[in-house]
């Protein structure tokens, strides 16, 4: 017996000969709901109305209005119907007909005149295959959904952890932590423009999200800078500035202690951003004095977001610049 708890509990018989529909329907009427159509056009209407409940379609080739190949053409055009097995009812056993039918994805053939046991076995095989395939797809869909949900939760928790860790530096620096909240959307905006106008850099949507998250870690090394330098309200001396510049290296050293993270692409983004977000294309940056394409494009995006926010925000050593002035200073290489 078939499992009638399955959602698909209907057999569609599309054949212009009433006696054929009666014989086939009689084989399965105690186990399935039998729906009949005497031509291809009515068969298509029946399928459209009941496709979620159909376990197998038994289809004649030679019919009025729309023939069997017309019905197969319709089924082929509808992705949601691609899994429903179709068994052809035909007296034409030519190689050409078989090849054409299989090209449409036909599951099997029933030759006229019918042999009841053969009909029942082939229909049963088709339905079992459909149930098995559908169950597997549903299981895969459910598993994929759970993995996606778990990934979203993990991303959310990682976001909280990154923000919390990054904000430690901001609070220690006597700032509000708003810099961390701003640099991520600024980075995202810049990366979107790189995506649009410089496709040769192959920036994907996933990269945009990951790099924006990683940008929050750019100044994590400042946690190792002494208070008398980090909190100094005036200009740093040359020696003090040399100590301050060490924060890019300290940040990388700190990241290397994150167990299990240092083999991921996200770690690479965090590491490169920490180490090189103060590089400049004229080699006047630090710590490695890189230039041009030696600085990864995403690091350049974070550096631009960082300096823009630094210019437009009030700090202990300066007041905030207006947007237009900040843009002018950046374009002038200041």
Residue 260 pLDDT > 60, yes or no? Answer: no
Query: How much is the CA Rg of the chain, to the nearest whole Å?
Result: 34
Task: Give pLDDT tens digits for 170-224.
Answer: 666 655 467 878 899 999 999 999 999 999 999 999 999 999 999 988 988 988 8
Res. 5 pLDDT band, cuts 50 70 90:
very low
Active site residues: 222
Q: How far is CA 212 from CA 133, 221, 263, 308, in A?
A: 40, 18, 19, 15
Residue that wins the pLDDT comparison between 248 and 142: 248
DSSP reduced 3-state for 110: strand
Residue of 224, 214, 312 whose CA lies nearest to 272: 214
Task: Give pLDDT tens digits for 57-81.
Answer: 999 998 999 999 999 999 989 888 8
Separation of alpha carbons 60 and 99, rounded Å:
16
Res. 322 pLDDT band, cuts 50 70 90:
very high
Q: What percentage of the chain carries pLDDT values higher than 90?
A: 43
Task: Give pLDDT tens digits for 270-293.
Answer: 999 999 999 998 899 999 999 989
Q: What is the mean pLDDT of residues 23-32?
A: 85
């Amino acid at each position: 017996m078939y499992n009638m708890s399955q959602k698909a509990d209907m057999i569609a018989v599309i054949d212009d000969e009433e006696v054929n529909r009666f014989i086939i329907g009689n084989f399965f009427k105690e186990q399935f709901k039998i729906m009949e159509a005497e031509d291809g056009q009515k068969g298509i209407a029946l399928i459209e109305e009941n496709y979620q409940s159909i376990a197998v379609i038994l289809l004649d080739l030679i019919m009025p209005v729309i023939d069997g190949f017309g019905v197969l053409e319709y089924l082929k055009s509808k992705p949601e119907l691609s899994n429903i097995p179709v068994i052809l009812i035909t007296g034409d056993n030519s190689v050409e007909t078989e090849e054409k039918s299989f090209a449409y994805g036909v599951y099997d053939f029933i030759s006229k005149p019918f042999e009841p046991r053969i009909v029942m076995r082939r229909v049963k095989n088709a339905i079992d295959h459909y149930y098995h395939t559908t169950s597997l797809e549903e299981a895969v869909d459910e598993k994929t959904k759970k993995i996606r949900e778990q990934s979203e939760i993990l991303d959310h928790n990682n976001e909280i952890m990154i923000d919390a860790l990054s904000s430690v530096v901001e609070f220690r620096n006597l700032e509000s932590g708003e810099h961390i909240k701003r640099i991520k959307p600024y980075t995202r905006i810049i990366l979107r423009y790189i995506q649009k106008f410089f496709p040769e850099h192959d920036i994907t949507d996933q990269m945009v999200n990951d790099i924006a998250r990683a940008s929050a870690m750019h100044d994590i090394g400042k946690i190792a800078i002494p208070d008398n330098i980090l909190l100094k309200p005036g200009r740093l001396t040359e020696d003090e500035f040399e100590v301050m510049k060490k924060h890019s290296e300290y940040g990388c050293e700190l990241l290397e202690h994150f167990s299990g993270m240092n083999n991921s692409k996200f770690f690479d983004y965090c590491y490169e951003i920490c180490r090189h977000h103060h590089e400049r294309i004229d080699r006047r940056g630090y710590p490695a004095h890189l230039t041009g394409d030696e600085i990864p494009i995403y690091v350049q995006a974070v550096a631009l977001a960082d300096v823009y926010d630094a210019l437009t925000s009030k700090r202990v050593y300066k007041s905030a610049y207006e947007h237009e002035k900040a843009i002018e200073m950046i374009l002038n290489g200041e």
